[in-house]
Amino acid sequence: MSDSQKDQFPPKGPSRETFEGTNFDDRDLQKVHAQLLREKEEPSENFSPMPLFLVALFMVFAFWAGIYLVKFSGDFGPFHYDETKKPGVAADTGPKEVDMMALGKRIYNQNCVACHQADGNGLPGVYPTLVNSDWVQDNPDRLVKVILAGLAGPVTVNGKEYNNAMTAFDRLSDQQIAAVLTYIRTGESYNNDSYPVSEERVAKVRSEYGARSEPWSQPELESIHGPVTGEWEPPAQAETVAQPADEGEQGEGEDAAEETPAMDAPKEA
Ligand code: HEC
C-alpha cells in the first residue's frame, strides 16, 4: 500500500469495494475491514467547551431579565399597581384622592373572586352570594368583622343555608377593606343598594376587634348587631354630624361644603 493510500482509507477514486476486491482477496479480511469502518469513534473523557454564541445569548437574556425586573417588579408589592393613578400627573399635588370603587374592584378581584366569583353569585351551597345579599346590605360593622376575622359555621344568606368557612383578610388595610365593602355594597355589579363604608369605620372596628383571630359565627354576630335583615340605615347623628367633623381634617370636608354651601364654610375667592 503506498503512502498516499495509507493516508486516506478508503482512497479517493474507486469505491472501497473495488479497492478491497483488487488488493485483498481474503474475504475475511474484507469483512473485518468493513466492520472496522462502520465503527464510531471511541467515546473519550474530555471537556467540550460550550459554544460561545450560547454563552453570549445567555448573558444577553440575563441582562435583559435584570433590566425587566428592576423596571417592572413594582417593589414586589402585591398592591403596588395603582390603576387609579393618572399618567403625567405629578404625584404630590395635594391630598391623594382615591377612587374607592376602582380600588374596591381591584381588591375584590384579588381576594374574593375565588370563592364569591366574578359575578358575586358564589357557588350554590358552598359560597354564599353577595348579589342583593341581606348580609351585604346590613350593618357594615358586621361585614368589617367578617373580613377581619372570617366567618364559619352555619349561616343563612338570603334565606339559604351555608355551612362553610371564610378565611380572614386582616392583612388588608383599612382603606382596602372600606373600598371592597363600598364596592360590593353600592356598585351596580352586585345589585346592592346600601351605604358606602368609610376608612374610619373600619379602623374603629379593627381597634376594637382586630386582636380576634378565630372566625365569627352568625349567632355571635347577631348578639352584637341583631339579626341580619338587609335593612340598615346609618344612625342619624353618628353619620351626619360626627362624620363631616372627622373628615374635615383630611380635606374631604371641602367637598361636602361645596354641596351644601353652608354657614361655617368661608367661601374662597
Ligand atoms: C375561601 C373562600 C372565600 C373567600 C376568599 C372570601 N369569602 Fe366571603 N364567604 C365565604 C364563605 C364560605 C362564607 C359563608 C361562611 C359560612 O358558611 O359560615 C362567606 C361569607 C361572606 C359574606 C356574608 C354572606 C354573604 O354572602 O353576604 C360576605 C359579605 C363576604 N363573604 C364577603 C367577602 C369579601 C368582601 C371577600 C374578599 C375580601 C370574601 N368574602 C372572600 C368564602 C369566602
Q: What's the pLDDT at 86?
A: 73
**Fold of domain 100-235:** Cytochrome Bc1 Complex; Chain D, domain 2 (1.10.760)
The ligand 1 atom at the shortest distance from the C-alpha of residue 172 is 38
The CA distances from residue 204 to 141, 191, 207, 208, 247, in Å, are 9, 27, 5, 6, 14
Distance 48 CA to ligand 1 centre (A): 60
Taking only the tens place, the pLDDT of each residue in 170-195 is 999 999 999 999 999 997 889 898 99
Q: Which residues line ligand 1 (CB under 6 A)?
A: 111-112, 114-116, 127-130, 133, 135-136, 143, 146-147, 151-153, 155, 157, 162-167, 169, 180, 184
Taking only the tens place, the pLDDT of each residue in 12-68 is 666 777 777 777 777 888 888 888 888 877 777 877 888 899 999 999 999 999 999
What is the spatial distance between Cα 220 and Cα 150, in angstroms, rounded to a whole number? 12
What is the spatial distance between Cα 128 and Cα 78, in angstroms, rounded to a whole number? 26
Hey, where are the domains in the chain?
A: 3-29, 100-235
- CA-based nearest residue to 192, from 104, 126, 110: 104
Mean pLDDT across the chain, nearest whole number? 81
The ligand 1 atom at the shortest distance from the C-alpha of residue 133 is 27
Distance 97 CA to ligand 1 centre (A): 28
Q: Which three cell numbers stand for residue 92?
A: 404630590
Distance 122 CA to ligand 1 centre (A): 9
Q: Which three cell numbers stand for residue 192?
A: 346592592
**Average pLDDT estimate for 252-264:** 45
Report which protein residue has its CA nearest ligand 1's atom 33. 112
| pTM listed for this prediction | 0.61
Query: Is pLDDT at 104 greater than 70 in this prediction?
Result: yes
Q: Which three cell numbers stand for residue 64?
A: 435583559
The ligand 1 atom at the shortest distance from the C-alpha of residue 153 is 18
